[in-house]
Amino acid sequence: MATVAMNSAISGLNAFQTAINYISDNVANSQTIGFKRIDANFSSYVSASSQRFFNPGGATARPDFVNSLQGTIIQDASPTSIAIAGAGWLPVEDGATNASGFSGNNIRQFTRRGDFSLDQNSYMVNGAGKYLFARSVPRPTTAVPNPQPNQGSLVPVQINTSQLPALATANATYAANIPSNAVAGTTFNGGTITITDANGAAQPVSVTWYNRTTAGGTLPGVAASTTTGTNAIAASAAATVPQWRAVLTVPTSSPNNYESIALDFSFGTTTTTAGLLTGITVAGTTAPGTQLAAAVTAGTGRVVLSYGAPSLTAPPPAQSINVEFGAPNATAGSASQLNVAGGTSQFGGTSISLSNILADGYSAGSYNGLAIDTNGNIYSTYSNGQRLRQYQLALGTFNNADGLVRQNGEAFLDSPAAGFIGYQAALTGQAGGVNPNALENSNTDIGQEFTKMIVAQRSYSANARMITTADEMLQEVVNLKR
């Protein structure tokens, strides 16, 4: 009957009107950061069907969400802008902040809209009013200088803009090559290890290397003075094993202002150990024990200094500093190694070669700004040159991102169809990388949308023509009565 054709054509009009609505929405959001386009997925209606009979019911258009297609990555001047290259979604939540903290609706959403900025309470919020959530990282302490991100519940990102307190040095590394063919009695300037004392002030630890006075002779002593220490350090006995003596001199709170430690170094002489550090001994000190002391961790290249800074009252509290002269240990936090290449050595040459002088710790600094790296770490930067990791992004990953449920503000909700995998750090598991100072633009292609619009418009017109044709057929039936 003509009414069946008319109903099918009307459903076609509705379907292509829906498609044009989707196209219009895509075009309207072609410059919306993080927008994901919607395509029309057409399917048929069947009112009745068998092997010998078929009654058409028309067509419908359902949304086909294109969430997994990445939009173009564009550069942005803001240091708080975030774009994700690859899979992964930024967890966000609706809410508001005040001086007391963040108040949200406890409904986790996911977005690729990364145009974040700091609100009046230093929380990170994007242009759609969604607040960013991530893993927090505790502030470093002397005991834990490199804390790792908390693995518990995600928290709203609030940047701590307060002053960075000073952190006293707990670990230092020193590596140099002392020339094996140096003339007997040679003295070398071994550079300076700059440490941060317990009061947050930088203190220079000067290193001076002394060779034996003659082949097989003694290592020189250190006289007492206002620039070397309270007591003299005696010369070594002749023909002992150590070939070199390093004298470490540092400002202290003693009356002489400076104190020194003498360390005697032994280097290998066999075919397997030649030139490698084989042992360290504490030869002597000019200081009272409360000012400067040293102990060698047996069988390692670690010397533990106990230090009292000049700005602290006597007797000062002891600051313990691990100074590693040996080769780095593969186990984090473990003492450096003897008889292994990579630490202080004695190979050929005529001059000393300094390869690594480094100490942790820093003075106090004021907040300068914020930075984000490709691993999703959010740092605050300070006037003392330090940057402090405050948060690490945890990207939500899904088996089927197209199954996410669309919300206002370029945000999405999890659903059974999405298949939530979990939160992953950038560049781990299925998560992509983070592009700092960048934004992901809409994944709408204007050219494609206009092409789809032309097709939808012509199809809409064709369905309208079908209604006209069905109307003419009905009119012929009516005219049969005449």
Q: Rounded mean pLDDT of 140-167?
A: 89
Beta bridge partners of 334: none
**In this predicted structure, what is the pLDDT of residue 159?**
96
Q: What is the mean pLDDT of the chain?
A: 89
Q: Is the peptide bond before 316 cis (omega within 30 degrees of 0)?
A: no
Q: Which residue has the higher pLDDT, 143 or 412?
A: 412
Task: Assign 106 a pLDDT band (cuts: 50, 70, 90).
Answer: very high
Taking the CA of residue 11 as centre, how many other CA atoms within 13 Å lie in the half-sphere pointing to its CB?
A: 18
What's the confidence (pLDDT) of residue 464? 80
Please provide the size of the chain in residues: 482
| Category of 229 on φ-ψ map: left (φ > 0), alpha (ψ -120 to 50) or beta | left
pLDDT at 46: 62
**pLDDT score of 305:** 94
Q: Residue 411: what pLDDT?
A: 96
Pick from 205, 209, 208: nearest CA to 169: 205
Percentage with pLDDT > 70 across the chain: 93
445-456: average pLDDT: 89
Q: What is the pLDDT of residue 56?
A: 59
Structure tokens that stand for 250 in this block: 């540092």
DSSP 251: E
DSSP 444: -
| Whole-number pLDDT of residue 184 | 87
Share of the chain above pLDDT 90, in %: 61
**Mean pLDDT along residues 215-219:** 84
pLDDT computed for residue 12 by the predictor: 74
Please give the average per-residue pLDDT across 329-349, as a whole number: 92
| pLDDT band for position 312 (cuts 50, 70, 90) | confident
pLDDT digits (tens, 9 = 90+) for 235-254: 988 876 678 999 999 998 88
**449, 432 Cβ separation under 8 angstroms:** no
* pLDDT confidence of residue 176: 96
List the structure tokens of 102: 């963040």
Helices (H), 141-235: none
Average pLDDT over residues 92-114: 95
Residue 145 has pLDDT above 90, yes or no: no
> What pLDDT band is residue 315 in, cutting at 50, 70 and 90?
low
| pLDDT (0 to 100) of residue 359 | 95
Report the b/e string of 243-253 with b at 16+ CB within 10 A: bbbbbbbbbbb
Q: Is the pLDDT reported for residue 471 higher than 70?
A: no
DSSP 295-352: EE-TTSSEEEEEE--TTSPSSPPPEEEEEE-SBPPSSTTPPPBSSSTTSSB--S-SS-
In the predicted model, is pLDDT for residue 329 greater than 90? yes
pLDDT of 14 > 90? The answer is no
Mean pLDDT calculated for residue range 64-86? 94
Mean pLDDT of the region 94-118: 95
Least confident interval from 21-25, 57-61, 95-99, 429-433: 57-61
